[in-house]
Chains A and B, each alone.
Chain A
Amino acid sequence: MLRLEVRPQPSRAWSYASPLLALLITVVIGVILFAALGKDPVRGLQVFFWEPVKNAYALSELMVKATPLLIIALGLAVCFRSNVWNIGAEGQYLIGAIFAAGVALTATKDTGPWIVPVIVLAGALGGMLWAGITALLRDRFNANEILVSLMLVYVAVQVLNYLVYGPWKDPMGYNFPQTKTFESVTQMPRLMQGSRVNIGLMLALAGVVAMWVFLFRTYAGYAQQVGGLAPAAARYAGFSSRKALWIALLTSGGMAGMAGALEVAGPIGQLTPYVPAGYGFAAIIVAFVGRLHPVGIVFSAILMSMFYIGGELAQSRLGLPKSITGVFQGLLLFSLLACDTLIAYRLKWKK
């Protein structure tokens, strides 16, 4: 029978091959799924893997979706590398969007373009505040950060609902639960004509470089990761675990909040109950599929963005329900976790 045997050393090759194998398994199960649903599997794969990259416009839409995923996942990578399990990025993203909307709503016809950086900073601040609650409760009362950050997502959703159904509802909006459309001056500047790609993509790519430098070239980033790898060694070295906790949560919260600001003052352009699109949760998968490495996360963010767009297209082209996106995300994470076994173990046939 097949047996798992511990490898003397974790396999380097498999740590790169595992995400690819996971993707392959996801595709295979996807094909079976399409067939079982009575859809043409080739058409299904085309919708997920070809349509999102077939021309310049499709590619730019791919980037629009990948940007928030990339920004949030970068922050989460710092968090997970320091062994702080923030799974509430969705909530930090929402509060960031709300803070950004609060600033954007103050804009009038004669507001200058200075408001754009203020919106982005307000978003980051909002996300940091929300993550700061988790950090404070963990620090002071040793509350479990997984539960606290997750539950705060639902609090954030209620805050959003209260605002769009209550004080911030557009008086001219036929009673729809949404704010008025933000003034055009608050729109994130677009990079080129005819596409929705905006400066968020540049910020995300700058974030990739900054994160790489922080993690692999600075003493602070080193100290941050030692706490996650070997807490006793961190104490021996004198790296504060409290400091690591705060840095991890404030970084990931700030990044998630910034993504929220870029989204609400970018492609969405107003606050609605549909702002939570699951980016905060999907980014957890993005961070892990990208091996918590800034460059890996770029690729996994693009992959996840394909699933989002493919899922939307599958609704219109194949008549499949929206949940197909979630199914693919789940399949990918599940098979990745399974394949990761091969990094530390090898399969052996024994009688």
Chain B
Amino acid sequence: MSPGRRRTLGLHFVPEERLGRGAVPTLSLSQNLLLTRRDAIGAGGWIRVGALRAQAQDIIARYKVKANGPDAAAKSLSGGNLQKFIVGREIEAKPRLLIVSQPTWGVDVGASAQIRGEILALRDAGCAVLVVSEELDELFEISDRLHVIAKGRLSPSLDRADATVERIGEWMSGLWDTEQQNNKKESAHAAA
């Protein structure tokens, strides 16, 4: 399935690399909207420049992006501000499933907190969010359920309430099977 087709079905994605993948460095913020958003595209593929700039201005204002307006080149923004813009771009598309990869890599503390808040708000609005991250603190803060991929296998789902750093650490070495066998033994003992 092509990325465009996936987007029309409501799957949006924030990649981990901002410059060069999530945004074209030399293009303006409004032009970078066109990577994943087609709201300002009129009949016959005509770009409605006014609508596009307004849309970019809207995201800049709503997500408090510090930028020199919608015509600022993507690479002129700091990492945190560009990330806010990209996350805003995908959230404003009102996705049904949002996949976010490393949402706060190289992002300053203030922007990180804001991005996490926006992701939680999106979850509350009823969107499924899949966060892929290496930062356990971040995952514990914003996830409801956790999965670990280790040695090419996907672990069972783990509730946030049952997750501890030690346990996730073990799982990250692929040790969730042994743990479950132990659990079974324990329950067998309890039953006996």
| A interface residues, Cβ below 8 angstroms from B | 9, 216-220, 222, 226, 229-230, 232-233, 235-238
Contacts and interface: CB of A to CB of B under 8 A. Distances in A.
A30 B46 CA distance: 46
A8 to B, nearest CB: 9
Interface string B34-56: 11101001001111010000000
Given A219-B34, A222-B34, A230-B21, A236 B27 contact: no
A233 B21 contact: yes
B47 A233 contact: no
B24 A233 contact: yes
B34 A238 contact: no
A238 B1 CA distance: 10
21 contacts: A9-B73, A216-B47, A217-B47, A217-B49, A218-B44, A218-B47, A219-B41, A222-B34, A229-B26, A229-B27, A230-B20, A230-B21, A230-B24, A233-B23, A235-B3, A235-B21, A236-B3, A237-B4, A237-B34, A238-B2, A238-B7
Nearest to B45: A219
B31 interface: yes
Interface string B115-151: 0000000000000000000000000000000000000
B95 interface: no
B123 to A, nearest CB: 23
B22 interface: yes
A217 B46 CA distance: 6
B69 interface: no
Interface residues of B, number: 28
A232 B46 CA distance: 24
B46 A233 contact: no
Interface string B65-77: 0000000010010
B101 to A, nearest CB: 11
A292 B2 CA distance: 31
B10 interface: no
Contact of A233 (B7, B20, B44, B76): B20
Residue from the set B7, B17, B34, B45 with the largest chain A CB neighbour count within 10 Å: B45
Interface string B151-171: 000000000000000000000
A218 B13 CA distance: 24
Contacts of A230: 20-21, 24-25
Contacts of B31: 222
A235 B36 CA distance: 11
B15 interface: yes
A238 B3 contact: yes
B17 A218 contact: no
Given A9-B76, A217-B47, A219-B47, A236 B22 contact: yes
Contacts of A217: 46-47, 49
A328 B76 CA distance: 38
B46 A218 contact: yes
A237 B36 contact: yes
Contacts of A219: 34, 38, 41, 45-47
B35 A220 contact: no
A245 to B, nearest CB: 17
B15 A236 contact: yes
Contacts of A229: 24-27
Contacts of A237: 3-4, 34-36
Contacts of A233: 20-24, 35
Contacts of B76: 9
A22 B130 CA distance: 53
A189 to B, nearest CB: 31
Given A9-B76, A232-B17, A237-B35, A218 B45 contact: yes
Nearest to B3: A238
A219 B45 CA distance: 5
A238 B3 CA distance: 5
Contacts of A218: 44-47
A226 B26 CA distance: 10
